[in-house]
A and B are shown apart, each in its own frame.
Chain A
């Protein structure tokens, strides 16, 4: 499939500022960083969660625990796909009981990924609270799900794709919007 570049939503500095703000909002709303667990949803949610953890540690001096969630096994569209998606594995470092869990993902779109993540998280126990942090909220929800911390909220067309590119994964760090070329 071919894509046409539309515009740049954030550059590297913009991403960094958004994550700093999200980190301080998390600390403010939860009165510090005790009992916090930051869990990144694979794939791009994982590096974002790592950065948020680092920023919270800088702010508060306490490092929240960091986890990884692979929601592949909880997807609601597995029976319709022919070639099975690769499973990378989930890692939850501590018991989730009594913890405030912050789920981190790059883009919030239909809400189906977050639904799957919530279901998987609940199979590990009963966290005290679960909140959601995303770098970009692009609308078009198909489920009653909303984000607690948002880097940037934009209106998009369904034919558009929001690409979050991060250092270590992609060549340049930025968030861009591209559109599928009409045939």
Chain B
């Protein structure tokens, strides 16, 4: 894979997706060893820059980096100078001057990782979720979990249920699943279903069907992907009440029977029990939520391994030259200030 950044699934080729998944499969074994560490990324530095709360993703990235022997630093907004009014561009330039090898970023605004990737020319930028845009490593770990149980993704019928409009998990999964040839049915309250979402799969082997009847989506499905009702993002303003959501769209044991007998249920977490899914389903035999978390570490190890390459001496030299130019008074080359 020849790529500096992982910003989304949309721009990945099928071969790249498969390389990441195959590599992740090999990395699973490292986490089962007595000594859960390999020296592969020794001397590399990974910065976790999280502008939004997260347990799974941040911990998962940190564990992945540590099992590859990289050094990790966590910056959460509460303890950073962002509170003092520093702009994202300034924060990025300052972080890059410390020559990290990768920055993992989560941000409530779509497109922030892309901007960061343009500013940091020598640092790999990994999108850990940006607004309602993409969450690529989540889709990759979902795919790894699906592949493990169904052998292949091609030809599967996948139901994605919930707030499609605001979900970066849904968007990344729609890209990945249709690229690899699965057919996806999306279902949810009509207010949270962008009608044009099906166009996202144009000229892809897999197709997208949109329905507001959850039963229609679940019928004979191989995989059910549940989305979290994002209570913190006024998603609940789009339907009358949580109780109504649970009774019309929640996955319960009765609805689950409509699916194929060997159906698997996945959920990106954190789970709202009793809202998008009943407790007996999420704790039941079809649910793979903990396997997803385990696979998350393997996928992130694979992504870090595949992205962090090249000779770092050149990068140090470039940063030096850039700071020299600034001191000499000449304007440094600004890559993006996109005020427009």
Contacts and interface: CB of A to CB of B under 8 A. Distances in A.
B92 interface: no
Nearest to A78: B40
Interface string A68-101: 0010011000111111101111110000000000
A123 interface: yes
A90 B306 contact: no
Given A73-B40, A74-B38, A82-B2, A123 B33 contact: yes
B1 interface: yes
Interface stretch (B23-31, B81-89, B135-143, B232-240): B23-31
A152 B309 CA distance: 37
B25 to A, nearest CB: 7
A94 to B, nearest CB: 12
B309 A81 contact: yes
B305 A84 contact: yes
Which of A80, A84, A91 has the most chain B CB atoms closer than 10 A to its own CB? A84
A88 B309 CA distance: 18
B312 A86 contact: no
B23 A86 contact: yes
A88 B26 contact: yes
Interface in B297-338: 302, 305-306, 309-312
B33 A87 contact: no
Given A83-B1, A89-B26, A73 B38 contact: yes
B254 to A, nearest CB: 41
A61 interface: no
A87 B27 contact: yes
Contacts of A124: 33-35
A91 B311 contact: no
Contact of A87 (B2, B23, B311): B23
B23 A73 contact: no
Interface in B1-60: 1-2, 19, 22-23, 25-27, 29-30, 33-35, 37-40, 43
Contact of B311 (A79, A84, A120, A123): A79
Given A73-B38, A73-B40, A84 B309 contact: yes
A81 B310 CA distance: 6
B259 to A, nearest CB: 32
B25 A125 contact: no
Contact of A82 (B29, B37, B310): B310
Contacts of A120: 38
B306 to A, nearest CB: 5
| Residue in A79, A80, A124 with the greatest tally of chain B CB atoms within 10 Å | A79
B306 A84 contact: yes
A91 B29 CA distance: 8
Interface in B208-260: none
A83 B26 contact: no
A73 B39 contact: yes
Interface in A102-129: 119-120, 123-125
Interface in B259-309: 302, 305-306, 309
Interface of B: 1-2, 19, 22-23, 25-27, 29-30, 33-35, 37-40, 43, 68, 302, 305-306, 309-312
Given A78-B309, A86-B22, 17 more contacts: A73-B305, A74-B39, A79-B309, A79-B310, A79-B311, A82-B2, A83-B309, A86-B19, A87-B26, A87-B27, A88-B26, A89-B26, A89-B29, A91-B29, A123-B38, A124-B33, A124-B35
Interface of A: 70, 73-74, 78-84, 86-91, 119-120, 123-125
17 contacts: A70-B26, A73-B39, A73-B40, A73-B68, A79-B309, A79-B311, A82-B310, A83-B309, A84-B306, A84-B309, A86-B19, A86-B23, A87-B305, A90-B29, A123-B34, A123-B35, A124-B33
